[in-house]
């Protein structure tokens, strides 16, 4: 019994495994946090993590995955930059019997091509952001400008859809302009500048909805440069809950964010460990939480808490 129990206790063990991680790049603060949490998790669990930065290009991710297959890694983690175009390379991994776990973004491909997917419910995130705005403006007319994430990525598609669903019955709220800011601060600022110019210097804009905090931070700068007060003249709602947005919320320059945990690797390693120990098949979709934060939720404390976690 003692032996059976102790081997049971090792059930989730992934130590000694070689795991490749095809990361998208470093477009956002959230992405940087995910990279560092994944490295930490690997180190704590004794995983030999092979890290490949794709610099936002799917072709680099496909090359990295082929490299991992050629090296004979034990598993592959991939954060897929866009949703389409994965079937061939994931079939190659499947033929090589290397389990693949998707992190933080989804793909349009048969579900048997990956073991599991660890991600948030991105449609839900969009709904939470949209519902916050519906409640906040309480029936007043409101023109929203939207900063979308990377074109063709699952969070851009889903966060747009969820937000539109949440405001569908609010005839007072209209999405006046919507464009991609590629999940980056610099593009968020640039696109917001254009929105402000074409909206009477910003006088016609009531709120900005950004698919991530980094674009919101860029937009906040553009709003200030235009001589307006972000958070007051123009409401700001976004997604991720990174430290910098809490600084903005604490300063009254942003209003709300929806949290996305950067710890996608922890549940992924747990799932792989169980799978390797006794063949346990994980849930196909492991869904992380999406909590709304506003100025009422101790933004300074949330900032510090994340800094302590190594964001």
Contact 148, 160 (CB under 8 A): yes
Bridge partners for 116 per DSSP: 101
By the rule CB under 6 A, 104 interacts with ligand GYE:
yes
**Minimum distance from CB of 146 to ligand GYE (Å)?**
15
**Minimum distance from CB of 190 to ligand GYE (Å)?**
17
Residues in the chain: 311
CA distance 255 to 142: 15
CA distance 94 to 126: 33
**Site map 246..265 versus ligand GYE, x via CB under 6 A:** --------------x-----
Closest CA to 158 of 107, 100, 206: 107
E-state strands within 151-284 = 173-180, 207-210, 235-240, 256-259
Q: Which of residues 130-189 bind ligand GYE (CB under 6 A)?
A: 155, 183
Q: Applying CB under 6 A, what is the total number of residues that bind ligand GYE? A: 12
CA distance 218 to 181: 10
Q: Which of residues 26-85 bind ligand GYE (CB under 6 A)?
A: 27-28, 30-31
E-state strands within 13-153 = 18-23, 48-53, 75-78, 100-103, 116-120, 142-148
Q: Please identify which residue in 239, 241, 256, 265 interacts with ligand GYE, judged by CB under 6 A.
A: 239
Q: Please identify which residue in 35, 41, 61, 212 interacts with ligand GYE, judged by CB under 6 A.
A: 212
Q: Please identify which residue in 105, 160, 185, 187 interacts with ligand GYE, judged by CB under 6 A.
A: 105
Q: Which stretch binds ligand GYE (CB under 6 A): 22-30, 54-62, 186-194, 296-304?
A: 22-30
By the rule CB under 6 A, 270 interacts with ligand GYE:
no
By the rule CB under 6 A, 244 interacts with ligand GYE:
no
Binding residues for ligand GYE, per CB under 6 A? 27-28, 30-31, 104-105, 155, 183, 212, 239-240, 260
């Amino acid at each position: 019994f003692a032996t059976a129990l102790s081997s049971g206790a090792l059930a989730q063990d992934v130590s000694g495994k070689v795991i490749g991680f095809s990361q998208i790049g470093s477009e956002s603060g959230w992405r940087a946090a995910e990279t560092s949490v994944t490295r930490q998790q690997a180190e704590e669990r004794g995983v030999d993590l092979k890290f490949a930065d794709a610099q936002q290009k799917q072709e680099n991710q496909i090359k990295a995955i082929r490299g991992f297959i050629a090296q004979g890694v034990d598993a592959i983690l991939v954060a897929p930059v866009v949703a389409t175009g994965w079937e061939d390379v994931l079939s190659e991994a499947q033929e090589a019997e290397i389990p693949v776990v998707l992190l933080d973004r989804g793909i349009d491909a048969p579900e048997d091509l990956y073991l599991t997917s660890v991600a948030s419910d991105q449609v839900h995130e969009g709904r939470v952001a949209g519902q916050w705005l519906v409640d906040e403006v309480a029936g007043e007319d409101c023109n929203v400008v939207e900063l979308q994430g990377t074109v063709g990525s699952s969070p851009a598609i889903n966060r747009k859809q969820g937000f539109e669903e949440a405001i569908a019955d609010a005839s007072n709220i209209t999405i006046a302009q919507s464009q991609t800011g590629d999940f980056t601060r610099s593009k968020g600022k640039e696109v917001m500048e254009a929105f402000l110019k074409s909206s009477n210097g910003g006088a016609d804009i009531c709120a900005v909805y950004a698919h991530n905090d980094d674009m919101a931070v860029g937009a906040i700068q553009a709003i200030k440069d235009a001589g307006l007060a972000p958070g007051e003249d123009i409401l700001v709602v976004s997604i991720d809950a990174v430290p910098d947005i809490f600084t903005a919320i604490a300063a009254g320059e942003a209003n709300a964010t929806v949290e996305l945990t950067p710890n996608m690797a922890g549940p992924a390693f747990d799932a792989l460990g169980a799978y390797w120990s006794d063949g346990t098949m994980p849930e196909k979709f492991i869904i992380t939480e999406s909590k709304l934060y506003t100025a009422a939720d101790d933004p300074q404390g949330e900032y510090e808490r994340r800094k302590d976690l190594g964001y």
